[in-house]
């Protein structure tokens, strides 16, 4: 039943809704107490605390407690929280048996297999639409999903590479246990330190694409399995969390320091985006990249010297060929250098990102649940004027 012409014309006559810019650039769509990014200052925080400072001197469990329970923990609280969450790392009954089939259908480290597995795991722990359960139960599920995602990710990787799965250990910290489940060996202090810095730096970052996605899905009342699957889907895109491995592909393609300038110049002049550079909000150095650069130097990664040369060359060329866009290295540029030096394979970079960002997604979803209104924006229709006359071959009511 098509709308009568006068109804369509009159609705168009009412005040025009606000038309947001493409990508919702510089548009605030909600209020939050979880995190924020002050792009001009090169600063971001978790619930008001400088996130880089927390990453420099804290443990992953400190940031996790802050994000999901609302406050930095005392040492006693952190130890208790670590004990509680370490016990949640085991997969729910029935999920482990499904992983070999899922792993066979995708490559090692694929976020597609992780999002499939975690969606099933969420059902196995009883996730229901949050509207049909208490907020306490939703928070408990949020903590359990955050705890089992590394186990799922590591076991899928081992299966996809023809290795026996490694069960989580409750006596290792979050980062050490993650490395242990992937490599099968207890990691050294330096590798653990490096991965823990990376995980803490990437827990959340304002209303980034995947965090916003998690809130949009949660706003419909959907269960946490739906939320986490959608958020991982958003993260997998090359313009978001799919970038770190592509930075390595770029470094490999450049190959040698003297090829950096011609290769990068050609790429920018041909409209390609350099992986690991640019950011919607940071128009100065990404502070996460700065700390990861320091960690890469401390690890004496053999790649760091070459990466530094590529960064310097790229920033200069972007300033020359894209003047005024203020394009610098973002978190992804040194992420791969650090994770590779810590013993993680390239195909695991994005999945590792998901294992930290899940804490940010869950913190945002719990906030959305506490004060929800379903996201349902408009879109400006720019197609042929409605209502249109039906073509002669297609008349309403024709048999
Ligand atoms: N390399 C080359 N040019 C870039 C660029 C990059 N990495 N990032 C942005 N630009 C250019 C764009 O081509 C565009 O130029 P014009 O004004 O000539 O059109 C301008 O800078 C603005 O770009 P855009 O509007 O796309 O920026 P936006 O803020 O929407 O996107 C992201 C930011 C991060 C998506 C960036 O563009 C990007 O794709 N970076 C590479 C992928 C990456 O590292 N992602 C991880 C982000 S943490």
CA distance 154 to 135: 29
Read off the pLDDT band of 7 (50, 70, 90). Answer: low
Residues 49-66: what's their mean pLDDT?
Answer: 97
Give the residue, by CA position, lying nearest to ligand 1 atom 25.
280
CA distance 191 to 197: 10
Residues 32-36: what's their mean pLDDT?
Answer: 97
Which tens digits make up the pLDDT trace of 69-96? Answer: 999 999 999 999 999 999 999 999 999 9
Residue 11 has pLDDT above 60, yes or no: no
Q: For residue 339, what are the CA distances in angstroms to 178, 199, 290, 304, 342?
A: 12, 10, 15, 12, 5
pLDDT at 244: 85
Q: Which pair of tokens denotes residue 30?
A: 């909600």
Residue 13 has pLDDT above 60, yes or no: no
Which tens digits make up the pLDDT trace of 308-319? Answer: 999 999 999 999
pLDDT at 279: 87
**What is the rounded end-to-end Cα distance, in angstroms, of the chain?**
16
Task: With CA atoms as reference, report the closest residue to 147 among 91, 190, 76, 100.
Answer: 91
Read off the pLDDT band of 40 (50, 70, 90). Answer: confident
Which tens digits make up the pLDDT trace of 123-133? Answer: 999 999 999 99
DSSP string, 293-313: HHHHHHTT-TTHHHHHHHHHH
Q: Is 390 in the pocket of ligand 1 (CB under 6 A)?
A: no
Read off the pLDDT band of 348 (50, 70, 90). Answer: very high
The answer to whether the CB of 349 falls within 8 A of the CB of 336 is: yes
Residue 136 C-alpha from the chain's centroid: 25
Q: Which of 278, 313, 315, 324 to mutate to test the pocket of ligand 1 (most atoms within 8 A of CB)?
A: 278
Fill in the DSSP letter of residue 347. Answer: G
Residue 8 has pLDDT above 80, yes or no: no
Name the more confident of 363 and 285: 363
Residue 14 has pLDDT above 90, yes or no: no
CA distance 237 to 112: 11
Read off the pLDDT band of 300 (50, 70, 90). Answer: confident
For residue 145, give the 3-state DSSP assignment. Answer: helix
Atom of ligand 1 nearest to the CA of 241: 46
For residue 43, give the 3-state DSSP assignment. Answer: strand
Residues 367-379: what's their mean pLDDT?
Answer: 96
Give the residue, by CA position, lying nearest to ligand 1 atom 9.
278
Give the distance (Å) from ligand 1 centre to CA of residue 219.
29
pLDDT at 322: 95
Task: With CA atoms as reference, report the closest residue to 343 among 199, 201, 178.
Answer: 178
Which tens digits make up the pLDDT trace of 198-245? Answer: 999 999 999 999 999 999 999 999 999 999 999 999 999 988 988 888
Residues 339-362: what's their mean pLDDT?
Answer: 96
pLDDT at 126: 97
Residues 40-52: what's their mean pLDDT?
Answer: 95
Read off the pLDDT band of 1 (50, 70, 90). Answer: very low
Read off the pLDDT band of 280 (50, 70, 90). Answer: confident
Task: With CA atoms as reference, report the closest residue to 231 among 119, 315, 333, 318.
Answer: 119
CA distance 383 to 112: 34
CA distance 206 to 44: 8
Residue 31: exposure state from Cβ atoms within 10 A (0-12, 13-18, ≥19): exposed
| Domains in the chain with CATH codes | 58-193+203-237+357-370 (1.10.580.10)
CA distance 280 to 21: 13
For residue 260, give the 3-state DSSP assignment. Answer: helix
Give the distance (Å) from ligand 1 centre to CA of residue 278.
5
**Mean per-residue pLDDT over the chain, rounded:** 93
């Amino acid at each position: 039943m098509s709308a009568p012409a006068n109804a369509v014309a009159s609705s168009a006559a009412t005040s025009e809704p606000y038309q947001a810019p493409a990508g919702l650039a510089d548009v605030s769509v909600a209020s939050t107490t979880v995190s924020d990014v002050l792009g001009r200052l090169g600063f971001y925080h978790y619930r008001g605390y400088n996130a880089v400072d927390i990453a420099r001197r804290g443990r992953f469990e400190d940031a996790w407690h802050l994000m999901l329970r609302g406050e930095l923990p005392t040492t006693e609280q952190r130890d208790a929280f670590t004990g509680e969450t370490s016990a949640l790392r085991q997969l729910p009954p029935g999920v482990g048996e499904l992983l070999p089939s899922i792993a066979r259908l995708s490559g090692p480290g694929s976020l597609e297999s992780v999002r499939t597995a975690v969606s099933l795991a969420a059902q196995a722990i009883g996730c229901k639409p949050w509207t049909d359960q208490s907020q306490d139960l939703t928070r408990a599920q949020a903590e359990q999903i955050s705890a089992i995602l590394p186990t799922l990710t590591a076991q899928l990787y081992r299966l996809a590479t023809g290795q026996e799965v490694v069960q989580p250990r409750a006596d290792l910290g979050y980062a050490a246990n993650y490395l242990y489940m992937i490599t099968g060996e207890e990691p050294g202090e330096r590798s653990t330190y490096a991965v823990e810095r990376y995980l803490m730096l990437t827990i959340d970052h304002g209303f980034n694409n995947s965090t916003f996605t998690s809130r949009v899905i949660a706003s419909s009342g959907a269960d946490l399995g739906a939320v986490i699957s959608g958020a991982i889907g958003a993260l997998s895109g090359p313009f978001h969390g799919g970038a770190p491995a592509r930075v390595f592909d770029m470094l490999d393609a450049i190959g040698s320091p003297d090829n950096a300038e011609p290769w990068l110049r050609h790429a920018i002049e041909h409209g390609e985006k350099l992986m690991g550079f640019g950011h919607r909000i940071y128009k100065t150095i990404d502070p996460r990249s700065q700390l990861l650069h320091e960690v890469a130097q401390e690890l004496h990664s053999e790649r760091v010297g070459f990466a530094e040369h590529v960064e310097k060359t790229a920033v200069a060329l972007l300033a020359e060929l894209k003047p005024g866009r203020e394009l610098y290295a973002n978190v992804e540029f040194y992420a791969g250098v650090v994770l590779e030096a810590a013993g993680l394979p390239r195909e695991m970079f994005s999945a590792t990102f998901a294992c930290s960002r899940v804490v940010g997604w869950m913190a945002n979803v719990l906030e959305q649940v506490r004060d929800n209104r379903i996201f349902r924006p408009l879109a400006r229709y720019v197609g042929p004027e409605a209502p249109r006359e039906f073509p002669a071959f297609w008349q309403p009511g024709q048999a």
